[in-house]
Amino acid sequence: MNLKRKLFKATALKIFSGLLLMLLVIQFLGPFSFSAGALELEAGLKLWGKGCTIIYLPPLGKLTAVTHLPPLDFYLTLKSVNIVNKDELTKFTKSSHALSAGIWSGELFQEIKTNIIKYLAFLLFLVFLLGMAATLLWTHRHVRKKEMFLVGLINLLVLLLFLSAASLSYKPAAFLEAEYQGALEAAPLVFHVLQEGVGVVESMGSQFTEVVENIFFLQNEVEKNSVLENKQDTVKVLHVSDIHNNPAAFNFMRRIVETFNVGLIIDTGDMVDYGTELELELLSGFFAEIEVPYVFVPGNHESVPVVEQLKKMENVIVLENGDLEVANLKITGLADPASFSGAPSIPDEGLMERKAQELAENVARSGETTIIAAHNPAMFKYLRKDGNLLLGGHLHKPYIKKNEGYIEINAGSTGASGIRGIQNLDINFSLVLLDFHNEGKRYIPFSADLIKVEQFPLNFSLERFIFVD
């Protein structure tokens, strides 16, 4: 009897040791790295959790959803995006539209799921080996293979029980009520757009065709018998700003360029929202459809990687500091200082003061410049004089101001403030179409049309400003 009790205690001790070793290894085991399409990811799990799935999207932050029964927590981290692989990125963008049908919908998400299953299978095999190894800690002479197999099997069954409980109780819909931290606090707005606003965005492309045709007719009526109609040597410039990831803005811009024979686009910044290359990659196809030169002055929502990627695009000219000449126009500009950082931010007043002085010095060195461009109008502090033409954005409020000493134009938000505008159904697009007339040796601003398109209900307006008496 004593021998049986001793054998029972010894076996129980080995089982306990196997379970303890399993728990320690799982708790401190490093993540599993894998690739899924264009994405480089890491997956892991921890014990003593609350039944959460935690997704890290650096540098944006993380989202946490209570998706299943405890005690396991699942972790998924996006390490990088391979933007060179455009085919895989196309697969990602197509798969992302299926989010509303479930977190594992789409080809890409199935690929992630397959890799995670492989990782869990590896864990089950590992804990089985740990159980077998734990028996060796208490074996001094004879190795009992049946006992080793038993302890390993118990380890495997315990982990399998935890995983089964998590799998059977898993609720992908919990992500719709997830907790967001960091810049991802805006993510609920994205879900709102995916669920309710996709139709709104898709309908804008066809609506812009009709709107632009009406604007063209209206502009022709305005120009009849006007002095502008008789001007032969002119350059049309389209001023846009603050697109904020809205693809509908490019549909609008493309229609304007084609209809009005635009020779140059000047964008005064904030093309993206979070300063990530992925955002820009998803918009890159539109640049190939706009064949005129595209001058871009970075805003406070850009970042170094985004600016560098823009520099590689064929018809995009990034103006960070200095001046350039394009379409017979000399443009002087200065990027927002926040575009040199790693995340969107608003520079303090002291830094903006120094940048305003720097831009004024650039203009003084450039000689006779035609256009001065910057994202934040605060940088025009020392330039509202000498007949300067100033183009800016940032404020999301379009205006054209003609003063005695200068002209200041703000394109507002050509992307209708991006996600923020769609979430509130406050969808107001705006841009400015300028005409420059050749006066001998140089081009001067002749007129500007402030074009605004509002949704719900759909309407548009055109305000013309004549600068030459």
∠ CA 215-240-332, nearest 5°, is 130
Residue 381 DSSP SS3 = coil
- Considering only residues 282 and 380, tell me which one the structure prediction assigns the higher pLDDT: 380
Query: What is the structure's pLDDT at 98?
Result: 41
Which of 44-48, 185-189, 440-444 is least confident?
A: 185-189
Query: What is the structure's pLDDT at 59?
Result: 61
Query: What is the structure's pLDDT at 427?
Result: 73
Query: What is the structure's pLDDT at 4?
Result: 64
Say if residue 462's pLDDT is above 80.
yes
Residue 334: which pLDDT band, with cuts at 50, 70 and 90?
very high
Say if residue 337's pLDDT is above 80.
yes
Whole-number average pLDDT of the chain: 81
Q: What is the pLDDT of residues 155-208, one digit of tens each?
A: 899 999 999 999 999 988 887 777 877 655 555 544 444 444 444 445 555 566
Alpha-carbon distance of 151 to 139, in angstroms, equals 13
Say if residue 419's pLDDT is above 80.
no
- Considering only residues 129 and 217, tell me which one the structure prediction assigns the higher pLDDT: 129
Query: What is the structure's pLDDT at 288?
Result: 80
Residue 408: which pLDDT band, with cuts at 50, 70 and 90?
very high
Alpha-carbon distance of 67 to 103, in angstroms, equals 11
- Phi then psi dihedrals of residue 382, to 5 deg: -100, 15
Q: Which residues of 21-34 are buried (b: 16+ CB within 10 A; e: fewer)?
A: bbbeebeeeeebeb
Locate tokens 């420059």: which residue? 436
Say if residue 95's pLDDT is above 60.
no
Q: What is the pLDDT of residues 248-280, one digit of tens each?
A: 888 888 888 988 889 999 999 999 887 877 778
Joined tokens for residue 46: 């921890």
Query: What is the structure's pLDDT at 420?
Result: 61
Query: What is the structure's pLDDT at 100?
Result: 37
Is residue 318 within 8 Å of 326, Cβ to Cβ?
no
pTM of the model: 0.64
Q: E strands within 144-206?
A: 179-182
Give how far the C-alpha of residue 169 lies from the chain's centroid of Cα atoms, to the nearest Å. 32
Residues with Cβ within 8 Å of 181's Cβ and at least 6 positions away in sequence, in order, are 61, 62, 63, 64
- Phi then psi dihedrals of residue 278, to 5 deg: -60, -40
Query: What is the structure's pLDDT at 271?
Result: 93
- Considering only residues 166 and 227, tell me which one the structure prediction assigns the higher pLDDT: 166
Instruction: Kindly list the structural domains of the chain, giving each domain's residue range(s) and its CATH number in brackets, ordered by start.
Output: 2-182 (no CATH), 204-338+346-466 (3.60.21.10)
Number of residues in the chain = 469
Query: What is the structure's pLDDT at 191?
Result: 46
Query: What is the structure's pLDDT at 266?
Result: 98
Say if residue 81's pLDDT is above 70.
no
Residues with Cβ within 8 Å of 459's Cβ and at least 6 positions away in sequence, in order, are 453
Alpha-carbon distance of 435 to 448, in angstroms, equals 6
Query: What is the structure's pLDDT at 186?
Result: 52
Q: E strands within 136-277?
A: 179-182, 234-240, 264-267
Joined tokens for residue 397: 């409020």
Which of 85-99, 314-328, 345-359 is least confident?
A: 85-99
Query: What is the structure's pLDDT at 297?
Result: 98
Is residue 269 within 8 Å of 300, Cβ to Cβ?
yes
Say if residue 469's pLDDT is above 80.
no
200 has which bridge partners?
A: none
pLDDT mean over 102-110: 56
Query: What is the structure's pLDDT at 238?
Result: 97
Q: How are beta strands 399-402 and 388-392 bridged, if at all?
A: unpaired
Residue 369: which pLDDT band, with cuts at 50, 70 and 90?
very high
Which residue, among 401, 368, 405, has the nearest Cα to 387 in the 3D structure? Answer: 405
Joined tokens for residue 6: 């001793």
